[in-house]
Amino acid sequence: MTGNTDQTVLVVGAGIVGTSTAYTLQKAGYRVTLIDRIGPCAGSSYGNAGAIVDSCVPNALPGILKSVPSMLLDPTGPLTIRWSYLHKITPWLLRFVQETRAERVEHNAKYLGALTSSASSDWQVMMENTGLQHLIRDEGWLKVYDSEEGFQETHAMRDLMLRHGSPFEVLGIGDLRDLEPNLSHIFKHGIYHNKSRFLLNPEKVVHGIADAFKQEGGDIVISDIHTLRAEENAVTAIGSHGNVSADKLVLCTGAWSKKLARQLGADIPLDTERGYHLMMPAVEEKGIGRPIVYGEKSFVLAPMERGIRLTSQVEFAGLERGPDFRRVRKLLPYAQKMLPSLKTDEQDVWLGYRPSLPDSLPIIGPSPESNRVIFAFGHQHLGMTLGPTTARLVKEMLNDEMGSREMWPYRANRF
């Protein structure tokens, strides 16, 4: 406790970032109200692959542009753009291209790695405090490649990880068989993130943190917030359930943050990299021991409490257009090829909205208009990884433990 019991805080958005933040601030002595338009874990945090990845690799890498045409032409490739959304995503894509320059890649890797390298220990604290340790595993995160060419294309990524201290091992056929004996023998190479962890049930984890927050005295309010107002002495969130005011507000609405942030003086190039999941029954014997990425296809098979989850690649189509579940269903033959014992009966399918900025770094910092508001969103493919780390940084900011933030790499006005 740091003696902040007189300060009230609103946390808007109850995904992994918002629930972790609400819980962490409450534990530090703030009086916290967590607000969501639906309830805890209604957004992207519900259906992801659950990996907590210690990796500095940003999404914009040198040479990626060369691969885009073939990615778009392949109906099972890692990237789709709905053509009706092309004009909307073009400015974001142009910024993304700028981030592939060598000096930008180094910058982004340095500051992404600075966050992901603390994720495991921040999760440890969160799981111990909330009694959820039984839902986390330490078996790492594995990428496998069936072609020499596919593996060679990872050269720049491996170099980057070596330079920035992200831990990994390169595995050959024999190592792969030892580590994942039930995986198809077509895979010749692996990259094993041996210090990474994974969650057996991301939804249960977010609900568990929200329950712990409530049990320790926190309030959860259901309200669809449409207006944020920062005044000299208070900040107010106005929504479907009226007005709520507090001393401080943390905005954690993931992919839906752009409009609310604009009301507080920030024009942030946030868009969504949509992704799907498809749940299949558990494979009792002959299963897999950790989430595994099929490198050439960029999809994941993740062992979860209630079955095997296939999570798909990236679709640019914004927040309004409906799902196209054919995208994820088309991957089933490759999933079967990857894990021959897989039973591909579909249990459920889901569409999620990764909140992404062109430089792959989240926004964690005050709004340009008011120090009473902290933004905490834009965690792209790594939001599950970075929830507790973001919560700790927000707490340090509110406690004034961080010194100058002028050149803070996660600031809102960096674009």
Ligand X SMILES: Cc1cc2nc3c(=O)[nH]c(=O)nc-3n(C[C@H](O)[C@H](O)[C@H](O)COP(=O)(O)OP(=O)(O)OC[C@H]3O[C@@H](n4cnc5c(N)ncnc54)[C@H](O)[C@@H]3O)c2cc1C
Per CB under 6 A, residues contacting ligand X are 12-18, 35-38, 42-45, 48-51, 224-225, 252-256, 275, 277, 311, 352, 354-355, 377, 379, 381-385
Q: Of the two residues 100 and 223, which places its CB atom closer to ligand X in the complex?
A: 223
Least gap, CB of 36 to ligand X (angstroms): 4
Amino acid in position 215: Q
Least gap, CB of 66 to ligand X (angstroms): 25
| CA 82 to mean position of chain CA atoms | 22
Q: What is the DSSP letter of 56?
A: -
* Among the listed residues 111, 91, 108, the one whose alpha carbon sits nearest the alpha carbon of residue 99: 108
Least gap, CB of 68 to ligand X (angstroms): 20
Q: Hey, which residues does 175 pair with through a beta bridge?
A: none
Alpha-carbon distance of 23 to 34, in angstroms, equals 9
Least gap, CB of 14 to ligand X (angstroms): 5
Q: Is 8 left (phi over 0), alpha (psi -120 to 50) or beta?
A: beta
Specify the 3-state DSSP secondary structure of 125. Answer: helix
Q: Of the two residues 177 and 221, which places its CB atom closer to ligand X in the complex?
A: 221
Q: Of the two residues 3 and 32, which places its CB atom closer to ligand X in the complex?
A: 32
Alpha-carbon distance of 8 to 34, in angstroms, equals 11
Own/partner long-range contacts of 347-350 (Cβ < 8 Å, ≥24 apart): 347/279, 347/280, 347/281, 347/306, 347/307, 348/278, 348/279, 349/276, 349/277, 349/278, 349/279, 349/323, 349/325, 350/46, 350/47, 350/276, 350/277, 350/278
Least gap, CB of 274 to ligand X (angstroms): 7
Least gap, CB of 162 to ligand X (angstroms): 22
Q: Of the two residues 177 and 204, which places its CB atom closer to ligand X in the complex?
A: 204
Q: Of the two residues 168 and 256, which places its CB atom closer to ligand X in the complex?
A: 256
Q: Of the two residues 42 and 69, which places its CB atom closer to ligand X in the complex?
A: 42
